[in-house]
């Protein structure tokens, strides 16, 4: 079994949600034409990565999402993107500031299914720097499932915590996907460390879609890509606007786990028990399940 995932490496216009979602709708059609079943977009793609501006004006920079399992109403910001997803039959994983009731927004990955329905969101568990002033951290993990393939969701700094990817691996996912905003500078080298390490130590495909361009004085370098369950690099994007497709294979994950039995050989008696955080599972058919 396999699942093709398109990494939509495209720039965001800071604060211009309508323009960014219009570009995202165009990327949906490109992803479908490339044979992908899933389109993933970078961290905070809908509004641009600018935590200070989000903290100053959360309502203006955030998306209000429809109830889980329903399509956005006509005329709302998400309606054209949901319509594009339905027409193409593609999942969309949209980085966005997601409005909450009575709290700060989430730095989230909004899930739109191939029938154009909003299906909830993953909220970033580990907030970085100024994000702590703009967002509330997430309450649990999220997995999407399609055609027998399951993909755990994370965001940027989450990749630096081995426990998060290990929890997904122990839950049986085939891949972990990070929607990210890594910029040039002192954090850049970690980008090339985190993702292959998370792949091989958990025998999962590890994918990252990283933003590009200039936002709030930072330069984002792209280089979206993927690593096999043995930690070997797959085809990826360079530094400009691009759409790269990665194929996640359950057979390759199973083979890697037979050859590299990290998950079964872990000394839980010595190093602690199995990680079991709350995990929401979003399948194409049926409700979200825990």
Instruction: Determine contact, residues 282/222, Cβ cutoff 8 Å.
Output: no
Please check whether residue 21 lies inside any domain of the structure. Answer: yes
Does residue 44 fall inside a structural domain?
Answer: yes
List C-alpha distances in Å: 122 to 223, 280, 281. 23, 9, 11
Q: Is residue 41 part of a domain?
A: yes
Torsion, Cα 151 247 159 172, to 10 degrees, reads: 40
Flag whether 204 is in a domain.
yes
> Are 58 and 50 contacting, i.e. CB atoms less than 8 angstroms apart?
no
- The total of structural domains in the chain comes to 1
Q: Closest Cα to residue 224, out of 45, 82, 15?
A: 45
Average pLDDT, the chain: 95
162 lies in which domain range? 2-283
Looking at residue 96, which CATH number applies to its domain?
Answer: 3.60.110.10
Mean pLDDT value across residues 143-166:
97
Q: Is residue 131 part of a domain?
A: yes
Span 89-105, pLDDT tens digits: 999 999 999 999 989 99
Q: Report yes or no on 192 lying in a domain.
A: yes
Q: Give just the sign of the alpha carbon dihedral 150, 155, 160, 161.
A: negative
Percentage of the chain lying above the pLDDT 70 cut: 99
| Residue 288 included in any domain | no
The answer to whether residue 184 scores a pLDDT higher than 80 is: yes
Query: In the sheet where 225-227 sits, what is the strand order?
Result: 225-227, 205-210, 175-180, 149-155, 141-146, 279-283
- Whether the pLDDT of residue 285 is over 90: the answer is no
Q: Is residue 273 part of a domain?
A: yes
Closest to 78 (Cα-Cα) out of 56, 107, 47, 54: 47
């Amino acid at each position: 079994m396999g699942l093709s995932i398109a990494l939509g490496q495209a720039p965001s216009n800071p604060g211009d949600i309508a323009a960014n979602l219009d570009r995202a709708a165009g990327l949906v059609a490109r992803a479908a034409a490339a044979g992908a079943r899933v389109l993933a977009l970078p961290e905070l793609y809908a509004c641009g990565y600018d935590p200070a501006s989000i903290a100053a004006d959360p309502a203006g920079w955030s998306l209000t999402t429809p109830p889980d399992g329903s399509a956005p109403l006509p005329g709302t910001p998400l309606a054209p993107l949901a319509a594009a997803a339905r027409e193409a039959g593609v999942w969309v994983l949209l980085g966005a500031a997601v409005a909450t009731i009575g709290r700060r927004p989430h730095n989230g990955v909004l899930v739109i299914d191939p029938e154009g329905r909003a299906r909830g969101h993953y909220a970033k568990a580990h907030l970085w720097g100024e994000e702590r002033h703009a967002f509330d951290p997430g309450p649990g993990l999220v997995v999407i499932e399609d055609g027998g393939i399951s993909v755990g969701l994370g965001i940027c700094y989450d990749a630096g915590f081995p426990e998060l990817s290990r929890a997904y691996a122990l839950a049986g996912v085939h891949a972990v996907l990070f929607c990210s905003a890594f910029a040039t500078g002192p954090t850049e080298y970690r980008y090339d460390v985190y993702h292959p390490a998370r792949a091989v130590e958990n025998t999962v495909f590890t994918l990252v879609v990283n933003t590009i361009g200039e936002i709030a004085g930072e330069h984002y370098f792209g280089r979206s890509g993927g690593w096999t369950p043995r930690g070997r690099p797959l085809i990826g994007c360079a530094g400009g606007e691009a759409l790269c497709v990665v194929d996640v294979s359950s057979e390759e994950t199973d083979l890697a786990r037979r050859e590299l039995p990290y998950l079964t050989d872990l000394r839980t008696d010595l190093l602690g028990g199995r990680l079991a955080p709350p995990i929401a599972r979003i399948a194409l058919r049926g409700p979200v399940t825990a």
